[in-house]
Amino acid sequence: MHLTYLSVIFFLFLLINFTTQDTSVISFQPSSISIVTGENKSFLYDGKLDNVHGYINSIPNITFTNETIDDRSQFITITGRRPGHLVLTAQSSQINISSLVDFLLIDIARSHVLNIFIQIVGWIYFLAWSVSFYPQIILNFRRRSVIGLNFDFLSLNILGHTSYAVFNIVLYTSSKVQRQYFAQHPHGVLPVLLNDVIFSGHAVFACSVTIIQSLIYERGNQRVSYVARALGAVGVVFLLISTIISLSNHLPTLTLLYFFSYVKLAITILKYCPQAWMNYKRKSTEGWSIGNILLDFTGGVFSLLQMFLLSSNYSDWTSIFGSPTKLGLGLLTILFDILFITQHYVLYRPNLQYTKRINMSNNEFNDKTSIISMKA
């Protein structure tokens, strides 16, 4: 069932990405630049510049007659005046130039040093979240058992991370989707960075490894509950129908990607509940790695820190809400991690209880019992 979720979502990703490519009438070299206030930078451009709104020094309009080879391009110097983001477009009475297709993105930051720090923070949470999968994998390997690791959590986790990977990869790689995003947030920051793409792809891999362990190691009577199966099926069907509607041009691709991100957010709200409930019923966290939780908590804190630093450096606080998945993921991760830390170190401390291997009985936590329902 886990592999079915993965296959369907990957197919939807291919359909989205293959239908979101576009071409430009004119070219910018480079197509985007990043400068600091007071800094000068040159670029090659063909067209007429729109109002710069005080973000950069005024640029004279340029007319290209196209009568000679030398009259087809010109270098222009950009000088940043205040932090923010600017989209420069071209106009022509001779050819059709779309401001949504042919444009130059200019990022104007307060400080290069803060930019570097933001990148470091991003890679710290990327490493923390990426490594967080391995304490559980190592624990399963050492015990040759997955007893104590909830299967509802596993099934929902693979669906959530796969949906998040589709959101990140398409938004990061598709110029068409990026134009849709900047049309809604003209001076916004693209809410997906390279480390987000790598993390989400790696998360799918790590979840797949854990699922394989659940198939080959001792697992007692644990099964994916019917409620978790139903939730997963609803999510997949919803995304499948939404993708078909988007491919028929009745739904913007960006909106479709937000649907993928909302599925991830919904799963994040739900996926930890079965494990927390199982820990409560067993009065134990045996089989559930605390190393996973501590690294997860670190990643959540640094993820939120990066978002606020980006907004501060570019004076763009509205961009925090441009990626509701990333913001919600960080907040929810921190809250649930605090709960698990409390369970492990305060409520069910290993040295305050007798420790034993727990095999699920047929009348408790079996394939007919839904932990998500949380009924005592």
Strand partners, 85: 107
Do 64 and 210 belong to one domain? no
Element (H or E) spanning 261, and its range?
A: helix 253-282
Residues of the chain with confidence (pLDDT) below 50: 6, 10-11, 20-25, 39-52, 352-376
Residue 137 lies in a domain: yes
Q: Where are the beta strands (DSSP E) in the chain?
A: 32-36, 40-45, 74-79, 84-89, 103-109
pLDDT attached to residue 355: 45
Instruction: Name the residue type at position 136.
Output: Q
Would you give the DSSP letter of residue 188? P
Residue 376 lies in a domain: no
Task: Identify which of 276, 278, 287, 294 has the alpha carbon closest to the alpha carbon of residue 350.
Answer: 287
Residue 16 has which token pair? Answer: 């989205």
In a domain, 5, yes or no: yes
Residues 37 and 159 in one domain: no
Q: Residue 375 falls within a domain, yes or no?
A: no
22 occurs within a structural domain: no
Q: Which of 61, 93, 109 is the last residue of a domain?
A: 109
The position carrying tokens 């709200």 is 269
Q: Are residues 101 and 140 in the same domain?
A: no
Note whether residue 26 is domain-resident: no
Cα separation, 140 vs 76, in Å, equals 59
Residue 145: C-alpha distances to residues 209, 212, 213 (Å)? 14, 12, 8
- 119 and 256 inside one domain: yes
Looking at the structure, tell me whether residues 303 and 333 fall in a common domain. yes
Residue where one domain finishes, among candidates 74, 109, 144: 109
Cβ proximity of 115 and 313 under 8 Å: yes
Rounded-to-integer distance, Cα 141 and Cα 161, Å: 22
Domain of residue 104, residue span: 32-109
Q: Which of 163, 341, 195 is nearest to 268 (CA)?
A: 163
Using DSSP, how many helices (H) and how many strands (E) does the chain show? 10, 5
Q: Report pTM.
A: 0.66
The span from the CA of 66 to the CA of 317, in Å, is: 42
Q: What is the rounded distance in angstroms from the CA atom of residue 202 to the CA atom of residue 200? A: 5
Same domain? For 292 and 253 the reply is yes
Helix (H, G, I), strand (E, B) or coil at 218: strand
**Together in a domain, 306 and 187:** yes
Neighbouring C-beta atoms of residue 163, cutoff 10 Å: 30
CA pair distance 176, 162, nearest whole angstrom: 22
Maximal C-alpha separation, the chain: 88
337 and 244 fall within a common domain: yes
171 and 236 co-located in one domain: yes
Q: Determine the 3-state secondary structure of 88 from DSSP.
A: strand
Q: Are residues 90 and 140 in the same domain?
A: no
Q: Establish if 372 belongs to a structural domain.
A: no
CA distance 289 to 341: 10
> Which DSSP symbol is given to 345?
I
From 93, 109, 125, give the residue that closes a domain. 109
Our count of domains for the chain comes to: 2
Please check whether residues 138 and 275 belong to one and the same domain: yes
CATH number assigned to the domain comprising residue 52: 2.60.40
pLDDT for residue 198: 87
Q: Is residue 195 in some structural domain?
A: yes
Cβ–Cβ < 8 Å for 287, 274: no
Q: Are residues 121 and 103 in the same domain?
A: no
